[in-house]
Amino acid sequence: MIARRAVGTLIMVAATITVAAQTSLPSSPLSVDAHLALEKRCGTPKAPSSESIAALRRARWVPFLHLDQAIARNGIEVVGGMTAASPGCEPERFNLFVFVSGSFAGTVSRAAMTPSRDGAAGAVRITGNDTLTVEFARYLPGDSECCPSSRERTSYRIEKAGAGPTLVETGTRQVR
């Protein structure tokens, strides 16, 4: 069910959407050789869970620390996985993968993201025992790469019933 309410010029949307009803971690589009070359060049970060890093590597994503920080609390871990990187190993095509006690729960975006482009993830916060938020950049035509016109905060809940944990989007609101 989607409910919309206008507040001034801001439209708030409340929805419950399953972001990743994936039973397994999605494979990256990289070939084995391209994955090995990127992994060798950019390395693998130290993360709280070696299980999550190993799962990303098996699916040919090169793990990285989103915004150079390990994001883990309450058994929830958010790890970046990239398929392209700048010469300085900054991610150029990436997604953020959510794990619960080492089991894959979902991705925060349906498609790979690109920094300084619409929909790129920024701040990630684990806000409770089974909740997290992610801020996404929203660019309009004419915005420079440094400065999106607005940001949206998406809230997620982790469903722990069934075959395994599942990341569920619970709402999005404009924060700037």
Q: Rounded to 5 degrees, what are φ and ψ at 25?
A: -65, 130
Q: Which of 116, 37, 121, 115 is nearest to 79 (CA)?
A: 121
Q: What is the pLDDT of residues 45-81, one digit of tens each?
A: 766 668 899 999 999 999 999 999 999 999 999 999 9
DSSP class of 36: H
Position 87: which residue type? P
- Over 50: is that where the pLDDT of 17 sits? no
How many Å separate Cα 81 from the centre of its chain? 9
Residue 56, token pair as written in the block: 């990303």
What's the whole-model pTM score? 0.84
> Which residues face 17 on adjacent strands?
169
Q: What is the pLDDT of residues 20-44, one digit of tens each?
A: 345 589 999 999 999 999 999 998 7
Q: Rounded to 5 degrees, what are φ and ψ at 164?
A: 180, 175
Residue boundaries of the structural domains of the chain: 15-174
Place 163 in a pLDDT band, splitting at 50, 70 and 90: confident
> H/E element holding 134?
strand 131-138
pLDDT higher at 69 or 15: 69
Q: What is the pLDDT of residues 107-140, one digit of tens each?
A: 999 999 999 888 999 999 999 999 999 999 998 8
CA angle 126, 130, 133 (to 5 degrees): 35
pLDDT higher at 143 or 46: 143
> H/E element holding 98?
strand 91-100
Q: In sequence order, what are the residues at sequence separation of 6 or more whose Cβ sits closer than 8 angstroms to the Cβ of residue 140?
A: 148, 149, 150
Place 88 in a pLDDT band, splitting at 50, 70 and 90: very high
